[in-house]
Amino acid sequence: MMKIDPVCGMEVETTTQYKTVYKGQVYYFCSRQCLEAFRKNPEYYLEHGPQGMPGETHSHEEHEHEHHHSAHGHHCH
């Protein structure tokens, strides 16, 4: 069974180890980054919907990098 990762919007299997319960509802995530992002601010993601992958690697100093692979969406496993 597939569920939507509320942080990045990806479909994830419910067999994933990355899940959490919030207000009686179970949420599933594609990665630990998404899980932790949700745990930090669940209301934000529930209200605003998926925001894409949380920035786990790029800091604010790496602006020149742009987001070369963000268009493909498969960077999120």
Residues forming contacts to Zn ion in the complex (CB under 5 A) are 5, 7-8, 10, 30, 34
Q: Left if phi > 0, otherwise alpha if psi is -120 to 50, otherwise beta: which for 23?
A: left
Q: Which of 58, 55, 70 is nearest to 7 (CA)?
A: 55
Q: How far is the CB of 53 from Zn ion (least distance, A)?
A: 6
Q: Which of 14, 19, 10 is nearest to 2 (CA)?
A: 14
Q: How far is the CB of 65 from Zn ion (least distance, A)?
A: 20
Return the number of the residue (63 or 74) whose C-beta is nearest Zn ion: 74
Return the number of the residue (17 or 63) whose C-beta is nearest Zn ion: 17
Q: How far is the CB of 64 from Zn ion (least distance, A)?
A: 25
